[in-house]
Structure 1
Amino acid sequence: MARVSVKIENHIAQVTLTRADKMNALDSDMIDAIIEAGESLIDNADVRAVVLSGEGGAFCAGLDVMSFAAMAAQDPEEIAMPRTHGNANRFQQVAMVWRKIPVPVIAALHGVVFGGGFQISLGADIRIAAPGTKMSIMEMKWGLIPDMGGMVLLPHLTRSDVIRKLTYTATPILAEQAETWGLVTELADDPLAAAMDLAEQISHKSPSAIRTAKQLISYAEENIADPDAVLLEESRVQVALIGKPHQMEVIAANLQKRLPVFKTAT
């Protein structure tokens, strides 16, 4: 059965987890389907924003129980150690692939966002959650640690003591608390509609400037201890945008009080 659907319309890719009968819990097939969906968008020049959501009553309930049993029968080193996707293993790629997509990814969260599902959401640029959504770093419940990219992504979003408390206890928190800790960007009664509205706003911005902005933000995060390098990179990528067709079209559209029309993504 299909685990993930991808629909591209008006330059927005809607990626939907479609295992609703299992609260979109992650099994082996779903892990592969999520990776395939994400990787299919990396080189798609027509896409300007991505909305990631889950069908049914939850965004994603994490790894399903049957997958634990299957993993227990395998050599853990063979599962975890091979770098199958650049610097990541297969499980890490499920979350990290969204950071590798060159356009903004907006996650619409509802129901439960547990374990691997929580780490997938961290891979998005922006997280919009319904009030009352439950979120948890669930791995400690099963005697494990978060190992799907969470420890790369979490330190950019919240404090060390918050990460430690959530990791040590596996206690679920509500989206309202997650927002105060920086783990949720904003709350919305209909997070999918809010995510689509935001994606539409982004789709009308300069595609090259948006892609450059995402790349520059990542560069700044990775080089936070080297402000000289970040300042130089700011200047370098700005030079590549000034006077180019996308910027000139933005200027013309602003002066003519209309939406810009962009021919290509680069």
Structure 2
Amino acid sequence: MSDRVSITIDNGIADVRLTRADKRNALDSEMFRAIAAAGERLKTQAGVRCVVLSGEGKSFCAGLDMGSMNQLAGAPPANGEEQTNAGDINDGSITHLAQQICWVWQELPMPVISAVHGHALGGGIQLALGTDIRFVHPETKMSVRETYWGLVPDMTGTFMLGKLLRPDIAKELTFTARVFSGAEAHEMGLVTHLTETPYDDAMALAAEIAGISPSAVRASKQLINNMAVDGAAEQFAEERRLIKTQIGTPNQIESVMASFENRSPEFVDA
């Protein structure tokens, strides 16, 4: 495995951890590839009945890393690296790489539980929303952060927010990009369980699920997802289309530059 993600399998539970703790598990190109690869591996991994996804260190995932943010402001990629969310979609896929790191957990036949603490911002919150069940620390800082950077949520977030929240609440969170707590997220319905010990509680639930007939559990996930994922492909295509209309525009670049320069942005009306 990559040094960005580790997988340990024991007693039917795959313990998947983001291991870029020094960067609060922020998403760079290698992290994107490693998360997607971990999910793909687990699709056919023998003996796995439940998955727990967590982040090592102080945060679950702080979103896109600053190197990628520099690219969004017009700076060239470091060391010739391509932009993280660029690239063609593989044949037969409904997602590009940035979307797939969130959606792959829905494609897994077994349940996936996330344990969230510290930060879950932008891509981080979308990664958590891609799991089946979420345990979140009440003081976790969460945000649908993309509009702050002049972008739109493009990692399956609009689809999942639309499934979990009333439209007005989803709109407010997205329009303002404000940071809110895990406790508030629980009140909204984004969080399954609020707990001071998200990882321990996620592992305990995983153990409980691992003690149930795995074929029945997998069939149940399939049945529920048959209803829950209706319209996903079309929405993901719209995410990809609309973010391309934002990247590199004057307002998008101004969003990033104003943040880096610690000043109020000066936007051009649409």
TM-score (norm 2): 0.78
Alignment counterpart, residue 208 of structure 2, candidates 180, 201, 205: 201
The Cα offsets for residues 102-153 of structure 1, whole Å up to 9 and x where unpaired, read as 1110000001100001100001000001121111001111101100111222
The Cα offsets for residues 58-116 of structure 1, whole Å up to 9 and x where unpaired, read as 00000011012245448x99954722371100110010111111111000000110000
Counterpart CA distance in 2 for 1:59 and 1:124 is 13
The Cα offsets for residues 28-54 of structure 1, whole Å up to 9 and x where unpaired, read as 111111111111101123110000000
State the match for 1:93 in structure 2.
100
State the match for 2:196 in structure 1.
189
Alignment counterpart, residue 137 of structure 1, candidates 129, 144, 151: 144
Specify the structure having the higher radius of gyration (Cα): 1
Q: Extract unaligned runs of 5+ from structure 1.
A: 225-266
Counterpart CA distance in 1 for 2:137 and 2:112 is 17
Counterpart CA distance in 2 for 1:93 and 1:223 is 17
Whether 2:38 is the aligned partner of 1:37: answer: yes
Counterpart CA distance in 2 for 1:90 and 1:210 is 28
Which residue identity is paired with 1:112?
H
Counterpart CA distance in 2 for 1:223 and 1:144 is 25
State the match for 1:57 in structure 2.
58
Whether 2:84 is the aligned partner of 1:83: answer: no
State the match for 1:164 in structure 2.
171
CA RMSD of aligned residues (A): 2.0
Counterpart CA distance in 2 for 1:19 and 1:58 is 10
State the match for 1:46 in structure 2.
47
Of the two structures, which has the highest relative contact order with CA contacts closer than 8 Å and spacing of 6 or more?
A: 2
Which residue identity is paired with 1:202?
I
Report the CA distance shift for 1:52/1:78 in structure 2 as closer, same or farther (over 3 A). closer
Report the CA distance shift for 1:210/1:25 in structure 2 as closer, same or farther (over 3 A). same
SS at match of 1:61: coil
Counterpart CA distance in 2 for 1:61 and 1:111 is 8
Which residue identity is paired with 2:30?
D
In the alignment of these two chains, the number of paired residues is 223
The 8 Å contact of residues 29 and 84 in structure 2, kept in 1 or not, is answered as no
The 8 Å contact of residues 29 and 83 in structure 2, kept in 1 or not, is answered as no
State the match for 2:240 in structure 1.
none
State the match for 2:15 in structure 1.
14
1:97-112 → structure 2 map (5 Å cutoff)? 97-112=104-119
Counterpart CA distance in 2 for 1:34 and 1:129 is 20
The 8 Å contact of residues 59 and 120 in structure 2, kept in 1 or not, is answered as yes
The 8 Å contact of residues 7 and 16 in structure 2, kept in 1 or not, is answered as yes
Counterpart CA distance in 1 for 2:227 and 2:102 is 20
Identity across the alignment (%): 48
SS at match of 2:31: helix
Counterpart CA distance in 2 for 1:80 and 1:28 is 10
Report the CA distance shift for 1:204/1:79 in structure 2 as closer, same or farther (over 3 A). closer
SS at match of 2:115: strand
Counterpart CA distance in 2 for 1:29 and 1:120 is 16
